[in-house]
Amino acid sequence: MSSFHLDHLQYLETESIHVMREVAAEFERPALLFSGGKDSICLLRLAEKAFRPSDIPMPFLNVDTGHHFPELNEFRDHRAGELGAKLIVRKVEEAIAAGVAVPNPGEVSRNRLQIPTLLAAVEEFRFDCLIGGARRDEEKARAKERFFSFRDAFGQWDPKNQRPEIWNLYNARVNPGEHMRVFPLSNWTEMDVWEYIKRERLAVPTIYFSHERDCVRRGGQWLPVTTLMPPKPKEEVKRLVVRVRTIGDIISTGMVESPADSVEDIIAEIAAARVTERGSRADDRASEAAMEDRKKQGYF
């Protein structure tokens, strides 16, 4: 008698593929959020496995703050072209010019301004579902989120007004103007993501691997020196061997000192890490509830 066994990565993969196929079956106008980061790279491979040899039945959507790392945008465009997918990019700069996104006086980060830009894209294309790469292990607000996360007509998330998910049964019904955010990687961990990248031999942006970069120490973390974020008076610029562990924009992404120049090295580093994945993100440090507050307004 033969036996059938799935290892933990295969189980997570089949679960995620099921969720993706559920989206394709239940929604009329879904889109897949693709930034070029490690989580969305895994989403693309899962989408290939879910729908090939047919085309992936949804466009890719990205909100560009104008402060992204160049390596990330280059990878995003290249990968979308490889797959022959329609890539929709909506820029915060254009949203500001159109009056859709309004920066506060003196506000440097455009993290908050991604929210109205994203919601404007949802309205423009009448998307009824957005697939994202968020995982529950990333942050406590995301730990509350279900696979199918309901957003009201204003694009807002109410953690107290979510639908029960019984086994693998999902309620995908939305009224006009409402939409769903769906997270196939909900049960994955950072380690799972990198082990999957290793197993599937997936390419990732070079910024994930160690490289030399000028940095300054600010707010308890190393931030990259760029034209957008020059050093302040009396700040000492240091040339360090660093990499990113999680990618936001240039202004909010802290670098971690690391010699890891391969996927295997990154996996070993994560196994020994004592700091959370998003511990290097300045945008999460505004308050204890920074992520939840943004998500209630319509953030990813």
Q: What is the mean pLDDT of residues 101-111?
A: 77
Tell me what percent of the residues of the chain surpass a pLDDT of 70. 90
Confidence of residue 229 (pLDDT cuts 50, 70, 90): confident
Torsion of CA 201, 139, 88, 229, to 10 degrees: -100
pLDDT digit string, tens, across residues 186-219: 999 999 999 999 999 999 999 999 999 999 998 8
Q: What is the mean pLDDT of residues 230-258?
A: 89
pLDDT value at 282 more than 60:
no
Q: Give, in degrees to the nearest 5, the angle at Cα 132 between 115 and 292.
A: 50
Question: Quick one: pLDDT at residue 298?
Answer: 60
Cβ–Cβ < 8 Å for 190, 277: yes
Domains of the chain and any CATH numbers: 8-193+289-297 (3.40.50.620), 204-282 (no CATH)
Question: Quick one: pLDDT at residue 112?
Answer: 83
Most confident of 83-92, 99-108, 269-278: 83-92
Confidence of residue 60 (pLDDT cuts 50, 70, 90): very high
Contacts of 78 (CB under 8 A, 6+ apart): none
Averaged pLDDT of the chain: 89
Please write down the HEC assignment for all residues of the chain. Answer: CCCCCCCHHHHHHHHHHHHHHHHHHHCCCEEEECCCCHHHHHHHHHHHHHHCCCCCCCCEEEEECCCCCHHHHHHHHHHHHHHCCCEEEEEHHHHHHCCCCCCCCCCCCCCCCHHHHHHHHHHHHCCCEEECCCCCCCCHHHHCCCCEEEECCCCCCCCCCCCCCECCECCCCCCCCCEEEECCCCCCCHHHHHHHHHHHCCCCCHHHCCEEEEEEEECCEEEECCCCCCCCCCCCCEEEEEECCCCCCCCCECEEECCCCCHHHHHHHHHHCCCCHHHHEHHHCCCCCHHHHHHHHCCC
Among 290, 250, 219, 216, which Cα is nearest to 109's? 250
Question: Quick one: pLDDT at residue 24?
Answer: 97
Q: When comparing pLDDT for 252 and 61, which is higher?
A: 61
Tell me what percent of the residues of the chain surpass a pLDDT of 90. 61
pLDDT value at 261 more than 90:
yes
